[in-house]
Amino acid sequence: MKMIGHVLRRAGLQIATALALVPFTLVAAPAFADEAEPQKTEWPCVYRKVPVLTAATIWDGPTITDTSTWRKDETIRKLSQYLVSRRVKEPEAEAAVKKFAAGLPADTHDAKLTELFSAVLTRTNEDRKLVMSGIERFHKRQLERAKEIEKEGIDLPPAGDFGATDAPAGEISQLSPKEEKYKWEIRTFQEKQANIPIACEIPQLIDERAGAIARAIRAEMKS
Amino acid sequence: MSRFAQPLPVFVAAAAMTSFGATAANAYTAYITNEKDNSLSVIDTDKLEVTKTVKIGQRPRGIVMSKDGKWVIVCTSDDNDVKVYDAKTLEFVKSLPSGPDPELLTLHPDGKRLYIANEDDNLVTVVDIETSKVLTEIPVGVEPEGMGMSPDGKVLVNTSETTNMAHFIDTENHKTFDNVLVDSRPRVAMFNSAQTQLWVSSEVGGTVAVINPADRKLITKINFEIPGVEKEAIQPVGIRITKDGKFAFIALGPANRVAVVDTATFKVLKYILVGQRVWQMYFTPDDKLLLTTNGASNDVTVIDVANQKAIKSIKVGRYPWGVVVSPD
């Protein structure tokens, strides 16, 4: 009995720890440090959130001012979709850029490649926004769920009272339905929580991909 | 043509190498830890190419060399130890006890005492690299990371990511004698050679604090602004200061830039475009080249220090993290 109580208490502690630590690592700078740089609690990843990937971080070509003309060019529209897909391997994406560049007339060569980068950047930011907001929503739900589970834990009988029923000595006691439900809720919560670091890698992979394509496009440009 | 396009066009590469090569007297060896690949890439700084890649321990990050250049010493974070490799053969020599999750480390000028930051334990572990014995453990702030050793070896500065402090530690008695608040998530501490300035980068705060080591007062705080780059993307981490003390180079993380700062006026002179998510850097001993590890683009950018220009991108393993260059 005590063992089960201990497990539940321990699990409860893990919930409390998760609740306490996740926001702490993100926001709990001492009050006196860097107050001008508050971090949103909705962002659970260990690295700082960069809401938009701007051209200047990965591109040293012509300034990108026009972000919509590319939508009128079907080839660029399709190619940019292909390039940003992480299912397409990097060498294949680079080969596609090379092929596209080779088929461009000299007078519009660099302008079209710039347009292609603009398309890739726009699509990249659309993907990032979707993924980042998904991560934030997931984290928010986890925080809410953790509060609910914590409350349920408080309502359970004290650890020493778990299973203090009429079970004879030596027999394995059953958890009450309430305790069983609580145990499973903790387990589900923890398994979901373990997915957050994995999800946090996705925006970084998207950025990495955009950088690789930007370099591939620039390598084909003459200016 | 892009400065970081790969490969560099032949004529640009040739021109860069000719102008650089005219003054390059020595070929050094650079060692890069690849965090995701559990490997070490070796770069010949004369040819500027990878000459060897070897598998090492799990999640290699911080890296230093022994004073005599015979050993490469690596924090293998997921193995919870520090591993020593022969710098020439790259064969494993021995493990050093480090405490859990070692991330960054620095060697005392005596060549024996190795100071290791243990992120999970809030400790700095001091190990004798010859006897492999733990000499002591120093309690510091939450999530210790940056390790800056004063050139005279009397003071170690450790930064703690969550406590947002630079802890000043006396290396004689291993006691903390002062703590200085800096902006959020301090990552790296670096003294200039004259020991008149201590530079501390704050990744989340987006600033670099310059502190007077004598009285621990803030001299200035440097902010960065790059046209077209979101403020949130400017995340200072690595710091290197030239031996003459005139220029500081600051790695700005996902801004993909290295800032060049005049150490007299504290003005940013230039932002050099490098690979993605630049964190750590290291000069060749002659201060002619600066190598940067770019974790998201899996490459190393080579900067010509005198001209403050990126001259080459070298592909290495996945998530390059730490870098060190042989002393000769």
DSSP result, B230-281: -GGG-----EEE-TTSSEEEEE-BTT-EEEEEETTT--EEEEEE-SSSEEEE
- Residue pair B96/B123 in contact (Cβ under 8 Å)? The answer is no
Beta bridge partners of B152: none
What value of ipTM does the predicted structure carry?
Answer: 0.70
Q: Does A60 touch chain B (CB under 8 A)?
A: yes
Phi, psi of A85 (to 5 degrees): -70, 120
- If you average pLDDT over residues B117-142, what whole number do you get? 92
**Ramachandran assignment for B321, one of left (phi > 0), alpha (psi -120 to 50 degrees), beta (any other):** alpha
- Residue pair B20/B311 in contact (Cβ under 8 Å)? The answer is yes
Sign of CA dihedral A223, B1, B7, B10: positive
For residue B266, what are its two tokens? 């504290």
Judging contacts by C-beta atoms under 8 Å, the chain A residues touching residue B254 are 50, 57, 207
Say which residue, A39 or A102, is predicted with more confidence: A102
Residues near A35 by beta carbon (within 8 Å), at least 6 away in sequence: none
Instruction: Say which amino acid occupies A113.
Output: L
Q: What is the reported pLDDT for B8?
A: 36
Q: Which of A28, A48, A219 lies closest to B232 in CB terms?
A: A48
Q: Distance between CA atoms of A194 and A46, rounded to whole angstroms?
A: 13
Contact A207 B276 (CB under 8 A): yes
Contact B162 A25 (CB under 8 A): yes
Nearest-CA distance B229 → chain A (Å): 6
Q: Which residues of B65-92 are buried (b: 16+ CB within 10 A; e: fewer)?
A: bbeebebbbbbbbebbbbbbbebeebee
Q: Which of B5, B226, B229 lies closest to A215 in CB terms?
A: B5
Q: Chains A, B: CB contacts under 8 A, how many?
A: 99
Give the residue from B123, B114, B125, B126 showing the smallest Cα distance to B63.
Answer: B114
Contact B275 A211 (CB under 8 A): yes
Judging contacts by C-beta atoms under 8 Å, the chain B residues touching residue A51 are 230, 232
Q: What is the reported pLDDT for B99?
A: 82
Q: HSE (CB half, 13 Å, CA atoms) of A165? A: 9
Domain boundaries, chain A: 2-30+43-220
Judging contacts by C-beta atoms under 8 Å, the chain B residues touching residue A33 are 164, 181-184, 205
Q: What is the reported pLDDT for A95?
A: 97
Contact A215 B297 (CB under 8 A): yes
The answer, yes or no, to whether the previous bond of B7 is cis (omega within 30 of 0) is yes
Contact B276 A58 (CB under 8 A): yes
Helix, coil or strand: residue B45: coil
Q: What is the reported pLDDT for A94?
A: 95
Q: With 50 as the cut, is the pLDDT of residue B283 above it?
A: yes
Judging contacts by C-beta atoms under 8 Å, the chain B residues touching residue A29 are 162, 164, 184, 204
Nearest-CA distance A50 → chain B (Å): 5
pLDDT range class, residue B26, cuts 50, 70, 90: low
- If you average pLDDT over residues A170-186, what whole number do you get? 79
Mutation target vs B (from A17, A57, A58, A118; most B CBs, 10 A cutoff): A57
Q: What is the reported pLDDT for A22?
A: 40
Q: HSE (CB half, 13 Å, CA atoms) of A200? A: 15
Q: What is the reported pLDDT for B17?
A: 42
| B186-273 fold | Thrombin, subunit H (2.40.10)
Q: What is the reported pLDDT for A189?
A: 92
Q: What is the reported pLDDT for A223?
A: 83
- If you average pLDDT over residues B262-270, what whole number do you get? 98
Say which residue, B14 or A148, is predicted with more confidence: A148
Contact A50 B275 (CB under 8 A): no
Q: What is the reported pLDDT for B162?
A: 87
Choose the most confident range, by mean pLDDT, from A8-22, A156-170, A184-198, B19-33: A184-198
Instruction: Say which amino acid occupies A222.
Output: K
Q: With 80 as the cut, is the pLDDT of residue B177 above it?
A: yes
Judging contacts by C-beta atoms under 8 Å, the chain A residues touching residue B297 are 208, 211-212, 215
Q: What is the reported pLDDT for B183?
A: 97
pLDDT range class, residue B22, cuts 50, 70, 90: very low
Q: Distance between CA atoms of A23 and A46, rounded to whole angstroms?
A: 10
For residue A100, what are its two tokens? 């596209």
- In the DSSP assignment, the letter for residue B25 is -
Nearest-CA distance A13 → chain B (Å): 19
Q: What is the reported pLDDT for A11?
A: 45
Q: With 80 as the cut, is the pLDDT of residue A160 above it?
A: no
Tens-digit pLDDT profile for residues A61-79: 999 988 889 999 999 999 9
Find, in chain B, the residue whose alpha carbon is nearest to that of A23. Answer: B162
- Residue pair A59/A218 in contact (Cβ under 8 Å)? The answer is yes
Mutation target vs A (from B6, B78, B184; most A CBs, 10 A cutoff): B184
Nearest-CA distance A71 → chain B (Å): 23
- If you average pLDDT over residues B176-203, what whole number do you get? 97
Beta bridge partners of A66: none
Q: With 80 as the cut, is the pLDDT of residue B94 above it?
A: yes
Q: Does A49 touch chain B (CB under 8 A)?
A: yes
Instruction: Say which amino acid occupies B12.
Output: V
Mutation target vs B (from A37, A205, A213; most B CBs, 10 A cutoff): A37
Q: What is the reported pLDDT for B36?
A: 94
Nearest-CA distance A214 → chain B (Å): 9
Q: With 70 as the cut, is the pLDDT of residue B125 above it?
A: yes
Q: Which of A34, A58, A63 lies closest to B256 in CB terms?
A: A58
Tens-digit pLDDT profile for residues A29-49: 333 344 444 455 689 998 889
Nearest-CA distance B181 → chain A (Å): 7
- Residue pair A83/A26 in contact (Cβ under 8 Å)? The answer is no
Q: Which of A29, A54, A211 lies closest to B297 in CB terms?
A: A211
For residue B89, what are its two tokens? 């053969």
Helix, coil or strand: residue B193: coil
Tens-digit pLDDT profile for residues B156-166: 999 998 899 99
Q: With 50 as the cut, is the pLDDT of residue A173 above it?
A: yes
Q: Does A215 touch chain B (CB under 8 A)?
A: yes
pLDDT range class, residue B46, cuts 50, 70, 90: very high
Q: Does A24 touch chain B (CB under 8 A)?
A: yes
Q: What is the reported pLDDT for A161?
A: 55
Q: Distance between CA atoms of B103 and B126, rounded to whole angstroms?
A: 14
Phi, psi of B44 (to 5 degrees): -85, 120
Strand-strand pairing, B247-251 and B239-241: antiparallel
Mean pLDDT, rounded, of chain B = 91
Q: Distance between CA atoms of B292 and B310, rounded to whole angstroms?
A: 10
**Ramachandran assignment for B48, one of left (phi > 0), alpha (psi -120 to 50 degrees), beta (any other):** left
Judging contacts by C-beta atoms under 8 Å, the chain A residues touching residue B273 are 60
Q: Distance between CA atoms of B185 and B203, rounded to whole angstroms?
A: 5
